[in-house]
Structure 1
Amino acid sequence: MPAPAEKTEPQPLLTLSGVGKRFGEFSALSDIDIAFNAHQAHCLLGENGAGKSTLCNLVFGIHQPTSGVMRLEDAPYAPANPRDAMGHGVAMVHQHFSLINELPVIDNLLIGKKFGRLNRKAEAEKITALATEFGLDLAPFEIVGDLSVGQRQRIEIVKCLMQRPRLLILDEPTAVLLPEEINSLLDVCRRVAESGCAVVMVTHKLAEIARVADRVTVLRGGRAVAHSAEPSNDMDALVRAMISREGGAGDNRNFGVSALPPRNPAPHRGPRPEAMQIDNLSFVDEIGVKRLDSVTLTITEGEIVGVAGVEGNGQSELGSILAGLSRATSGRWFAAGREMTAAKPRQITAAGVGVIPEDRHLVASIGQLSLADNLQLGRMQRFARYGLIDRKDQREAASTLMQRFDVRAPDSQSAFSTLSGGNQQKAVLARELTTPNLRFLLAAHPTRGLDIGAIEAVYTFIRQAADRNTGVLLISSELDELLAVADRIVVFYRGRIIGERPASSDNRDHIGLLMSGKTP
């Protein structure tokens, strides 16, 4: 009986050494050392803004590094653009598809690849054989616009595989897929890796990493803070690296909360009234994926409840429903005893609910308008005089808010878009925290993109609101901030609340385990 063949160690196909990328004064990536091996699937894990997509764009030639070197096998690799990268055998499936919906599948696949007279039947047979080789179901002559999102993504993958790439990058490939489509895609990733290709997949979903990854690199604040060659066994450590500032050398983003004194809520006789109640809330998105699953939560007046969880586990959908931007599929929710389940944003505000959405530019402000206008969005009727706006009265009110909340700008007539990120966020806070009869505040990622001083200011204002008996739901991917600011923390996983703990540093590891889906 012949001796079993020795298992050979995977060889690095692409190596990055000391790679960094700056956009002006902003450092998106710093000192990245990483190797992507042939025959392996390598997952890049990290929260939004960690630098995952930037790293992929460097490898694919969309951007060029500011520092460091890349080597493909044993030769220098510095693609000037995506076409150059593809010429070196590097392909990328982007988050957003680049298909022409009016054309059939085969025409989308052959655009730019075939010239002259085409035998469409012969080409369709080749494409079908390639798709079948990797377990992809493809109908070459169907119109793309008639296909599901998952089917369109298969086309994008086949388009890349037609090049027979040495390295395939998939940037957040499962973000828009149904559960069964996700399983199919992960199977494809394994097949592609086993064929000899190096597969790089960007994700923040832990279940996908456990299923497909041979190696994992965790990015945080633009740095590689952890590596694992046994991700299934190291999942707890990977989660801690992703959420803990201790894992990210040089990332001092969360130190803004270190200046906050311990929270000591004022004593209250008897049970506190409810500020907000969620009762069995579920949400199914437009492609049929259940994003929230029977969520029940109560927040009392003066209480700050933090929502922890790896992004993509239903927190954004919950925030959208409570802001009146989405409608729950089932269940109900109440603010200060009033049902808000079917309420519109204006009605929610009138009920005494303040909303700090996670995207202040898209939802919370209008950049072209003045600071004064943004401070009074939704309440301009206060300054109406015989059908006209009393601008003097409005400017005085704006100046009062600017002083109270330390919003720094040349004057209240400055365009909102010209303010720094911190001052924009303080302006949104000023408006929402002065909502008449404020009883409940939704704060979704209120410090994202802010510097240390702005972080401290934002949380000081939120705490002051709680001290005035406002109930607060604080959604954040920064566990350090939740531990420093909240009274208790609930953990979301796959659209459910799977655990709750007091907001104490002693509970950090336990909360990290819950975030990875492990329950006692």
Structure 2
Amino acid sequence: MTPLLELSGLGKRFGTHQVLDDVSLTLEAGEVHCLLGENGAGKSTLCNLVFGVHAPDAGTMRLSGADYRPGRPADALAQGIAMVHQHFSLVPDVSVVDNLLLGQSRGILKRAECAARMRELGERYGMQLDPHALVSGLSVGERQRVEIVKCLMREPRLLVLDEPTAVLLPDEIRALLQVCEKVAAKGCGVVLVTHKLAEIRQIARRATVLRAGRVVARSDAPAQEIQSLVHAMIQRDLSDPCDAVPASPRRAATPIGEAVPTPALMVDGLTVRDAQGVTRLDKFTVLVAPGEIVGVAGVEGNGQVELAAVLSGLAAATEGRFFVGGTELTGKGAKAVTAAGVGIVPEDRHASGCVVAMSVAENILLNRLGNYRRWGLLDRAAMLRDARELMKTYDVRAASPEVAFAGLSGGNQQKAVLARELTTERLRFLLAAQPTRGLDVGAVEAVYGHIVGACECGIGVLLISSEIDELLKVADRIVVLYRGRIMGQCDARPSQRERIGAWMAGHTQ
């Protein structure tokens, strides 16, 4: 049979950086083909060549046996290729249904028809959404669902998914993998970029591994060759390739008679109501001791975003107070929060964690640029020297500290944010919201290694994550949010998984 997609000898260079070099790949109709590689290996660039975002500098592409040379994404869409990008391409100030109609409708907008189609797809694939909700009010996971449904509405013959599960919850991931299986069963080819090895084991018919822009491994039986794929990807073995999270040493209780240390974080009854008066966070109370990791679990949209915004100084609480190291920060802005020794790894790094138009050096030193001021100017040489050292320590991969932050892969952007926040001056407390979202297994291991290392130095951590397995492995305690309230809390042990799952669904035990 003629392959659905054939890539032969593709090359792509940006400036002096060779991103892809002699990459070849074949995709059959009805196949789910997983594309693996470390952050910055060239996976997103390869997907963007297929979707017409960029043109290859070398090599050829064929679609169903015919030459395929898309000049822009519209050409790819016209030939039945749809793509879910790693970063969202939605218009935040309009509704979900209007986002789905963009580029697909002329003349009078048929919103009712589109909403009905959207509901039908949502029910079929388990991705329900409110058609009339503003995108700006959706959680990260809900926005990803909009992107996926937008592609499915086109009924493509080739679906390219660039790390679609990085922002989804376990149930949503299962639903998406079922979507892939269903569309593949209808003859659609699926290219799935993922870092989650369990997904490869479940769904991939074949897999290709990229490293430094070149194909370094292929597998026709990826479920049976996970270990060799991991080794090809990161050039070393993990003790368990499906569990890259290092265990956190459990804190011992303070012995009786010894003074209890000042909490790294004390939150007392934080409540947040939105502009419509709806309570989003309800009397949230927690203590985080120095050197302790407290995990916050829950289905997205249950108050985690509001909690992080208040603790980051980006939003004001309606009621309640919070303290870091004994200093009250209630109502203080982000600058005061940072000055008090708080590191923030935000859920949405583009919205509040970086300035993508600035350089890597400027972003990685953003919270202490004042230290490099000389006679009203920035000492660029000192900045570049220190930025290089941080990039080396935290494995941030870029051609140089002077390149634009926007040119980094998503994973390298996240590692740069983590490097900046973990080196905050007088760091006492770290708020980490979804810190491993979109990272490969090697990077996940490194990120939690740095977080656990900070804890061993006495830093308290509040870790908000939708990855239950990661919370159970790295946290000391877990609190579960449901509709803005703490549904329950327990020690972070595997035996508590069922209990935590019940709390996340709103059931008490």
Same fold (TM over 0.5): yes
2:237 aligned with 1:260, yes or no? no
Q: Conserved in 2, the CA contact under 8 Å of 1:256 and 1:456?
A: no
Q: In structure 2, how many angstroms separate the alpha carbons of the residues matched to 1:511 and 1:95? A: 31
Residue equivalent to 1:304 = 293
Gap change, CA 1:403 and 1:168, over 3 Å in 2: closer
Match of residue 249, structure 1, among 191, 202, 206: 202
Gap change, CA 1:19 and 1:323, over 3 Å in 2: farther
Gap change, CA 1:175 and 1:22, over 3 Å in 2: farther
**How many aligned residue pairs are there?**
341
Gap change, CA 1:389 and 1:451, over 3 Å in 2: same
Gap change, CA 1:513 and 1:226, over 3 Å in 2: farther
Letter in 2 for 1:304: I
Segments of 5+ residues of structure 2 without an aligned counterpart are 1-28, 36-41, 48-76, 84-93, 101-105, 123-127, 135-170, 182-195, 205-225, 231-239
Match of residue 177, structure 2, among 214, 223, 243: 223
Residue equivalent to 1:172 = 129
Letter in 1 for 2:504: M
Q: Residues 33-70 of structure 1: CA distance to partner in whole angstroms, max 9, x if unpaired?
A: xxxxxxxxxxxxxxxxxxxxxxxxxxxx9994679xxx
2:338 aligned with 1:345, yes or no? no
2:52 aligned with 1:95, yes or no? no
2:229 aligned with 1:276, yes or no? no
Q: Conserved in 1, the CA contact under 8 Å of 2:304 and 2:481?
A: yes
Letter in 1 for 2:177: R
**1:8-47 correspondence runs (5 A):** 25=43
Measured after TM superposition, the shift of residue 258 of structure 1 is 3.5
Q: Conserved in 1, the CA contact under 8 Å of 2:302 and 2:482?
A: yes
Match of residue 373, structure 2, among 384, 388, 397: 384
Residue equivalent to 1:43 = none
Q: Residues 305-334 of structure 1: CA distance to partner in whole angstroms, max 9, x if unpaired?
A: 000111111111111111111111111111
Residue equivalent to 2:441 = 452
2:412 aligned with 1:423, yes or no? yes
Gap change, CA 1:169 and 1:355, over 3 Å in 2: same
Which shows bigger deviation, 501-510 or 286-295? Answer: 286-295
Gap change, CA 1:303 and 1:259, over 3 Å in 2: closer
* SS class of match (2:282): strand
Percent identity over the alignment is 43
* SS class of match (1:517): coil
Q: In structure 1, how many angstroms separate the alpha carbons of the residues matched to 2:427 and 2:242? A: 26
Measured after TM superposition, the shift of residue 411 of structure 1 is 1.9
Q: TM-score, normalised by structure 1?
A: 0.58
Residue equivalent to 1:375 = 364
Gap change, CA 1:62 and 1:305, over 3 Å in 2: farther
Q: Residues 424-457 of structure 1: CA distance to partner in whole angstroms, max 9, x if unpaired?
A: 2121111101111111100000011111111111
Gap change, CA 1:285 and 1:247, over 3 Å in 2: farther
Residue equivalent to 2:20 = none
Gap change, CA 1:259 and 1:158, over 3 Å in 2: closer
* SS class of match (2:488): strand
Q: In structure 1, how many angstroms separate the alpha carbons of the residues matched to 2:409 and 2:118? A: 43
Q: Conserved in 2, the CA contact under 8 Å of 1:443 and 1:472?
A: yes
Gap change, CA 1:220 and 1:449, over 3 Å in 2: farther
Q: In structure 1, how many angstroms separate the alpha carbons of the residues matched to 2:500 and 2:443? A: 26
Match of residue 432, structure 1, among 409, 414, 421: 421
* Aligned-residue CA RMSD (Å): 4.0
Residue equivalent to 1:11 = none
Q: In structure 2, how many angstroms separate the alpha carbons of the residues matched to 1:412 and 1:316? A: 31
Gap change, CA 1:19 and 1:486, over 3 Å in 2: same
Q: In structure 1, how many angstroms separate the alpha carbons of the residues matched to 2:339 and 2:370? A: 13
Measured after TM superposition, the shift of residue 282 of structure 1 is 0.8
Q: In structure 1, how many angstroms separate the alpha carbons of the residues matched to 2:113 and 2:244? A: 49
Residue equivalent to 1:499 = 488
Q: Conserved in 1, the CA contact under 8 Å of 2:197 and 2:241?
A: no
Residue equivalent to 1:74 = none
Letter in 1 for 2:430: L
Q: In structure 2, how many angstroms separate the alpha carbons of the residues matched to 1:488 and 1:517? A: 19
Q: Conserved in 1, the CA contact under 8 Å of 2:95 and 2:132?
A: no
* SS class of match (2:418): helix
Match of residue 474, structure 1, among 433, 451, 463: 463
Q: Conserved in 1, the CA contact under 8 Å of 2:247 and 2:474?
A: no
Gap change, CA 1:387 and 1:263, over 3 Å in 2: same
Gap change, CA 1:435 and 1:113, over 3 Å in 2: closer
Q: In structure 1, how many angstroms separate the alpha carbons of the residues matched to 2:314 and 2:261? A: 29
Q: Residues 461-510 of structure 1: CA distance to partner in whole angstroms, max 9, x if unpaired?
A: 11111111111000000001101110010000010001011111111111
2:471 aligned with 1:518, yes or no? no
Residue equivalent to 2:71 = none
Residue equivalent to 2:395 = 406
* SS class of match (1:490): strand
Gap change, CA 1:159 and 1:393, over 3 Å in 2: closer
Q: In structure 1, how many angstroms separate the alpha carbons of the residues matched to 2:284 and 2:429? A: 18
